[in-house]
Structure 1
Amino acid sequence: MATIEQCRAALEKLSDNMQGAEGDVRAAAALDRSVSCHVTDLDVTFAGRMTGGRIQVDETYPGAPRERARIRLAMAGDDLVSLVDGGLNFATAWGSGRIRLEASLLDLFQLRKLL
């Protein structure tokens, strides 16, 4: 099982990957939205903001998200690490329910470019 530190590192790596993106992916990464990632098996939430092409984690706290972020992710820690490392296909994991992504319809259309 992934640790909190490994999950935080995976989010940092995802943020770095978004920062270096180009074209449509860069445009999608440029959204300015609140974001939360609930790591279900650790029952911890990372909350922050996607802005300037990066994800900035401002808080880490136990339990489910305290506030409703504009972009909400939920998954197991191992899935987060595997997703960022390229070992897990987002579409397959989302379709099977291993990963939950909730956002407005317009944001989902933009985010699909990242995936």
Structure 2
Amino acid sequence: MATIEECRAALDELSLNLAEADGQLRAAAALDRSLSCRITDLDTTFVGRLSDGRITQVTTVSGTPADKAQIRLSMKGDDLVALVGGELNFARAWAGGRVRVQASLRDVLRLRSLL
């Protein structure tokens, strides 16, 4: 089971990957949305902002935050680490119920191209 530190490192790596992206990926990352990533097996949620092609202002909240983000992801820690590491396909994980996404359809389609 992934630790909180490993999940945070995966989010930091994802942010770095987004910042270094170009072309279509850079355009997809140009959203300005509040973002949360709930790690179900750790009962922890990372809350931040996706803006200017980066994930910023990340804080850790125990349980589920009171304020709902515009883009909400929910998964196990191991799945987050595998997604960012390229070992798990986002579309398959989403279709198989390993990753839950609550966002507008347009945001979901943009997210799919990022992960």
TM-score normalised to structure 2 length: 0.94
Amino acid in the other structure paired with 2:114: L
Question: Which 4+ stretches in 1 moved above 6 angstroms?
Answer: none
Q: Displacement, 1:57?
A: 4.0
Given that residues 18 and 26 in structure 2 are in contact (C-alpha distance below 8 angstroms), is that contact kept between their aligned partners in structure 1?
Answer: yes
Q: Distance in 2 between matches of 1:22 and 1:2?
A: 30
Following the alignment from structure 1 to structure 2, what is the Cα–Cα distance between the partners of residues 96 and 71? 19
Aligned to 1:22: 22
**Alignment root-mean-square deviation, CA:** 1.1
Aligned to 2:34: 34
Give the partner amino acid of 2:39.
V
Corresponding residue of 2:49: 49
- Taking only the aligned residue pairs, the percentage that are identical comes to 61
Tell whether 2:7 aligns with 1:10. no
- Hey, what's the Cα distance between the residues in 2 that align with 1:79 and 1:111? 16
For structure 2, which runs of at least 5 residues remain unmatched after alignment? none
CA distance in 1 between counterparts of 2:79 and 2:104 reads: 23
Count residues with an aligned counterpart. Answer: 115
Deviation of 1:17 (Å):
0.6
Q: Which runs of 5+ in 1 are unaligned?
A: none
Aligned counterparts of 1:111 and 1:58: Cα–Cα separation in 2: 18
Q: For each residue in 1:50-96, what CA deviation from the matched residue of structure 2 results, as whole angstroms up to 9, or x when unmatched? A: 01100114320110132110110000000000110111111111000
